[in-house]
Amino acid sequence: MKVFISCDIEGVSGVVVASPQTSPEGRDYGRARDLMTAEVNAAIRGALKAGATEIVVNDSHGPMTNILIEKLDSAATLITGTPKPLSMMQGIDRDFDAAVFVGYHAKMGEVGVLSHTISGASVADVWVNDIPVGETGINAGLAGYFGVPVVLVSGDDVVAKEAKALLPHVHTATVKWAVTRTAARCLPPEKARETIEEETFRALSSLSEAKAWLPESPVTFKIAFKDAGQACNASRMPYSEMIDGRTLTFTADDYLTAFKGLRAMIALAGR
């Protein structure tokens, strides 16, 4: 069994504020990296316990150089650094049997811990074929393009609810409960890791029940930016269509191409 793990940082237990904890300049960034690496290792242990023979971890937060490779379980290999063509899902392909999302967060606008969708500075909302999605849904669709089901999402209670609404079969590992966007009731690290390990094992042990999620083609991503200037910048993307002052769409025959169009529009918006 070959397992792909995508790991973000905002959903990790104990991480609740941005700059001090989630950026390299922050005073608590080193601690957050340790916590992130430990939660990845918990998922790796659960996967091994369920019979995984190959595990690939993709560092999926910000600069994508957060996971401490010297502390990573030696059973896995690590994809690190940026830019990467598939971003948070770099390395996924049809050879994988399952995908696991660790440390994920809710989409922009939800009262989840550090909620945002790809770019907190520019993105207000994203839809795929008129279905509202955050990073969980966007990345689940990309896994689905390769025929890979997402079997587990770990993070706060809000992202767990978001994941269940879109992926009914998915298992969740709730390691904290949002109080506000920058406050939460958190499990102690040891308990959070036990929860992730146990739920990863359960999810992979019932892999036969999992289903890949893939929106029907043609695939249309609609994106609302925070201001009109960002939308105007993004409209330089070939074949994009401006719907109103802040909203664009991009349509492609397949999910992978549509995903790349979405990422390109977001990148252009910040220029």
Instruction: Spell out where 95-144 has E strands.
Output: 98-104, 123-128, 131-132
- d(C-alpha 153, C-alpha 101), whole Å: 5
DSSP state letter for 168 = T
Q: Which residues are 125's β-sheet partners?
A: 224
Q: Is 61 a catalytic residue?
A: no
Q: Are 237 and 250 in contact (CB under 8 A)?
A: yes
Q: Which residues are 59's β-sheet partners?
A: 7
Residue 47: closest CA among 168, 189, 197: 197
Residue tagged active-site, from 105, 116, 169, 171: 116
The per-residue b/e assignment along 179-195, b for 16 or more CB within 10 angstroms, e otherwise, is eebeebebbebeebbbb
Active site residues: 116
